Chains A and B, each alone.
Chain A
Amino acid sequence: MTSKEMMAWVQLLGVAVVGGWLGWDALNGGAVGSTAEIAQKLLWAVGAMIGLNIVGAIIGTILVSIAQREELKDEPADERDHLVSAKSQRNSAIATSILAALALIPLAMGAGVNLAVYALFVAPVVGGTINAASELYYYRTM
């Protein structure tokens, strides 16, 4: 496993953990409240994902280094890395754009502004998730 693949796994894990927390919170009545309350919660979620990525990168590097019996180094990107990145970002941009556009439909039909706050959070997070998943896919197939 390369450093770039490890980081993609860490990102997916972070989304799973934070998404699980938000889902559990929503099922327990956390999805209702003032716009400010929901925005604050989502800000904490953003912070949690950043923190998980930092901690996950450190722990992941140590664990992968031990498993591979070789120090895991972040090598400079070459042309294949750039191609994988470009294709993954394209997928991510498509998903983010579609989700953002879809979020406008219920808002146009009069849904509450809280939905817009969730859409502001969910669309880029899903885009980032698709970016990470795409990277893992392309690194295995090309």
Chain B
Amino acid sequence: MGKGQANVSNTIRTLRFHAGEMTQAALAEKVGVTRQTIVAIEQGRYSPSLEVAFRIAHVFGVPLDQVFQWTPPEPDA
């Protein structure tokens, strides 16, 4: 949980599209957060808690790593 790190990406927008163009409000209601939080997660500004991440994956019926991807930071030269 915390401020969104640049190296965490997600495919929520794509998953919503494949779920019959599910709205952000509908996803928020199913997950149990506000629509603004879904917007922030989708835009990569906010990294959700592990529980909310699992809930989002559960809504789409996919594994967690299909929703969120983490790229290791570049090692300092």
Docked-complex contact A141 and B32, CB < 8 angstroms: no
Of the candidates B36, B37, B45, the one whose C-beta lies within 8 Å of that of A141 is B45
Which residues B22-44 have CB closer than 8 A to chain A?
Answer: 32-34, 36-37, 40
Nearest CB on A from B35, distance (A): 8
Binary A-proximity of B45-59 (CB < 8 A = 1, otherwise 0): 110110010000000
B72 within 8 A of A: no
A75–B29 Cα distance when bound, in Å, is: 11
Contact B49 A79 (CB under 8 A): yes
Find A2's partner among B3, B34, B49, B52 (CB 8 Å cutoff): B34
Residue from B4, B32, B49 within 8 A of A142 (CB atoms):
B4
Given contacts A141-B3, A142-B3, whether A78 and B34 have CB atoms under 8 Å apart is yes
Q: Are A79 and B45 in contact (CB under 8 A)?
A: no
Q: How far is the CA of A80 from the CA of B52 in the complex (A)?
A: 11
Count of A-B residue pairs with CB < 8 Å: 33
| B2 at interface by CB-CB < 8 Å | yes
Chain A CB within 8 A of B77 CB: no
- How many Å lie between the Cα of A78 and that of B40 in the bound state? 13
Nearest Cβ in chain B — how far from A108, in angstroms?
40
Q: Which of B2, B4, B33, B45 contacts A78 (CB 8 A)?
A: B33
| New contact pairs (6) apart from A78-B37, A79-B1, A80-B37, CB-CB < 8 Å | A2-B36, A75-B34, A78-B34, A79-B48, A80-B40, A142-B4
Q: B residues engaging A (CB < 8 A)?
A: 1-4, 32-34, 36-37, 40, 45-46, 48-49, 52
3 nearest A-B residue pairs (beta carbon): A78-B33, A80-B37, A142-B3
Provide a sorted-by-A list of 27 A–B residue pairs whose CB atoms are within 8 angstroms: A2-B34, A2-B36, A75-B34, A78-B32, A78-B34, A78-B37, A79-B33, A79-B37, A79-B48, A79-B49, A80-B33, A80-B36, A80-B37, A80-B40, A80-B46, A80-B48, A81-B34, A81-B37, A83-B1, A83-B2, A139-B36, A141-B3, A142-B2, A142-B3, A142-B40, A142-B45, A142-B46
